[in-house]
Every structure is written in structure tokens, then in C-alpha cells.
Amino acid sequence: MFYIRADGNTKIGAGHIMRCISIAEALKSRGKVTIFITADEESAKLISSKGFGTLTLKTRYDDMDSELEKLLPILTENQIDSLLIDSYSVTDHYLKKISEKTKTIYMDDLGEKAYPVDMLINYNVYAPELGYEELYHRKVVKVPKLLLGCEYAPIRAEFQCVESKVRRTVRDVMITTGGSDPMNVAGQLLQTLVQEGARYRGIQFHIVSGTFNKNMESLRKLENENTNFHVYQNVKHMADLMKKCDVAIAACGSTMYELSAMGIPTVCYFFADNQKKVAEAFGRQFAKNAGDISAAPEIVLHQILHLLDEYIESYETRNKVCEKMMQMLDGDGASRIADELIKIS
């Protein structure tokens, strides 16, 4: 039995949960059962919909120290010998208390702290450059087992071993804005596309709305008013939808790694600090980075469309980017993590 501590809601989106579900699915394929521990029912509902069991603490997701009184007895009662934790709200105190009861594995994105854990995972493209070992030595903290880089990107099995073919003409574009899209970027983009008029009418836009998106009513209205807008929520086979698209517009989260595995040229943007490094790293290598939409929404929206136009106009650019993206990762990251979790338990 494996346990994962993660949350997802309208404020933080579904990224933490979704990448952990990929790991849980890899464990399941190895005959292992995974239980998620969550702060609230909002998180538990999403996890249950994916077929995994949950334990709900009924605490605040952003005050993890306060949950220790409930969580520590659960670790003892269930004889939990390892716990994967995926949250930006952890503290050193929290991890140290958990480590007294069980082995700890932490999913990191930023590389800014020497977390007191047994294993640390950072699958981001820039992770090997963050200098983790030096960071731990400087803080005089024991260096944990480090799983770094894209070979550990926990994307779902459906994105493995995909063949990609770049079409001469762009006919379909995906827009994916994360689990909650708090700035309603999808809605703003669609409004801008409507204003631009004729030059995009020959293209079908496929808008993927996350589970916690509160803007579905307005997105559906735009869909009903424009025959080339198609809105999706709770997509069960994302790889199939991606496969039909020639270009993507995406927030810089885990979806960037799925798009890379599919070889889909992407215009990316970011709105949170934890997404900035992803945007910059992808922008340096092959994606087109439109920038921080929270700082200048109107400017970045128009930059997104300008960069989209560059892809639309150049088959050669799209073909070159597709090749580079597919070389970056093989899609086996979740399996590699699962194998390491089994070893440490």
C-alpha cells in the first residue's frame, strides 16, 4: 500500500493531483494500491473520479503544520512506511515530524530549499541545473536520493510511444489553461480571436477546461456563438485530442511535458512564480514563450496570437520544433518514479 499527500482546488488548480495520479497509475500497473491523503473534499472528489481511494483530513491545504495532529496518528495506525508529498505549503517542521514516522518523498519544482526528506523528485527540464547537492551541502543537510530531469516527468501512459506527423497546414489549435484558469485566459483568448475576425475562421480551436474552472458558462456561450470553438471538460483521453491538433497554446504546467511527448509546437505563457522557470526553460529550447500574463494581460494575449501566427505561417518551424520536443522525454517518467518508490518502501 502506497500513500500520497496532495491537494487540488480552484485556487491552486489540479496539477499536483494529476501528476501524482500518473504515479499512482504506474504503481497500479505494478500491482500496488495507492491511497491519497487530502485536506478537503474538493481534492478527494477529483481523486475518487480517477479511481483511487482517499483519506480526508478536513484541514486547510495551505496550513499543513496544523494537520499534523490528525496526520501523524494516521501514519502510525496505517503503518505507512513511506509518504510522497506534493505541496508548496510544506515547512521544514512538517517534513521533520513526518520523517520521524515514515520515509518521506517530496515533489519539488523550485530548487530553492534543502528539504529534510529521504527522496526528492524534480522532473522539470531545468532541474539538473539547480545545484541540489551544493544546496544541501551548504545547508549541512543530508543529501536525499535525487530524481532530477525530464526522464522522471510523470506523464500518463497514453502519451508514451506516440508517433507524430506535422501537417503542412494548421487546421486545429488546442488551448489549455490549467486546472482552474483563475485569470480566465481561455475566455480572454477566445474574445480576442473573435475580435481578430476572418484570419482565424478556417482554424478549429479546442479549448480544454480544467476541473476547477469557474468560467465554464461564459466559455460555453462563446462556443455556441462560434462554430470553430469547441470546449471540453474532464477529458478522458487527452492524447487523442492532442493528436488531432497542430499547435497548442498552454499555461506552463505539467501539460507542457505531455505536449512535448506528443511533439506539438506550443506557445506558452505563465502567471505564477512556480511556472516562470518552466516557461523560460522551454522558451530557450523550443517553445515560444509569450511571457507573464498576470503582469500585462492585454500585451501577452496579443503576443500569444503573434507567436501562434509564426507557427501557422511556417511548416518548417513546426517540423523542427516537433522533432526537438519528442527528443526531450520518452514518457516513462511515472514508471521510473514508481520503481524508485517501491525500492524505498
Reported as a single tens digit per residue, the pLDDT across 258-284 is 999 999 999 999 998 879 999 999 999
Cα separation, 62 vs 59, in Å, equals 9
Q: Where in the chain is the domain with CATH 3.40.50.11190?
A: 2-155+331-344
The grid coordinates listed for 326 are: 519528442
Angle at 84 between CA 72 and CA 98, to 5 degrees: 30
Query: Any idea which fold 158-328 has?
Result: Rossmann fold (3.40.50)
Region of 135 (left: φ > 0; alpha: ψ -120 to 50; beta: rest) is alpha
Q: What is the mean pLDDT of the chain?
A: 94
- Structure confidence by residue, pLDDT tens digits, 135-188: 999 988 899 999 999 999 999 888 887 788 899 999 999 999 987 898 999 999
Q: Distances from the Cα of 268 to the Cαs of 129, 175, 260, 302, 310, in angstroms?
A: 21, 10, 12, 13, 13
Tell the residue number behind the cell numbers 518548417, with chain if given. 316
Residues of CATH 3.40.50.2000 domain(s) within the chain?
A: 158-328
Q: Does domain 2-155+331-344 have CATH number 3.40.190.80?
A: no
pLDDT in tens, 206-264: 999 988 889 999 999 999 999 999 999 988 889 999 999 999 999 998 899 999 999 99
